[in-house]
Amino acid sequence: MIVRIQGSGQYRLDDAAQSELASIDARLVAALERGAADEAHTLLGQAVSLVQTHGAALPDDALSPSDLILPPADASLDEISIPLHPAPTQAPSSQ
């Protein structure tokens, strides 16, 4: 699978790294559902560094389209248009 990290180019990921990425993605979905912005950021950073360390960078002149695109690790949740979903049944937290 070819993964692009926005602003950092493309990487080819093997199966093992792909399933690791999928697991981070699942945790990211859960974190966003809980409204845990900090955790979501940490997971995004983990995903980006997983791709950069375990993926093989494609040469500059490669012309393959990407299967998956990740935002840069320093993107804000707002910038990457991922809405936070705090659990609706949660009681208002104490101050």
Partner 1 sequence: MSGMFGRFTNIVKAKMHRAMSEAEDPAEMLDYSFEKQMEMLQKVRRGIAEVATSKARIQGQLARLMDQSGRLDGQARQALTLGREDLARTALARKQTIETQARALAAQVEDLEAQQNRLLDGEARLSAKIDAFRTHKEVMKAQYSAAQAQVRISETASGLSEEMGDVQLAMQRAQDKTEQMQARATALEELVGSAALPEIGPGSGDDIDRELARLSAGDDVERQLEAMKRALPGGPEAPKQLESGESSTHD
Residues that bind partner 1 (CB under 8 A): 4, 6-9, 21-22, 25-26, 28-29, 32, 47, 59-72, 74, 79-82
Q: Round to whole Å and give the CA distance between 7 and 23.
A: 23
* Gyration radius (Cα) of the chain, Å: 15
Q: With respect to partner 1, which residue has the nearer C-beta, 39 or 93?
A: 39
Residue 93 in tokens = 């937290």
Q: Name the minimum Å distance from CB 91 to partner 1.
A: 26
Q: What are the distances in angstroms from CA 12 to CA 17, 29, 52, 56, 84?
A: 10, 23, 10, 5, 30
Closest to partner 1 by CB, 36 vs 68, is 68
Q: How far is the CB of 93 from partner 1 (least distance, A)?
A: 24
Closest to partner 1 by CB, 16 vs 91, is 16
Smallest gap from Cβ 82 to partner 1, in A, equals 6
Pairing assessment for the beta strands 2-5 and 68-70 based on DSSP bridges: parallel
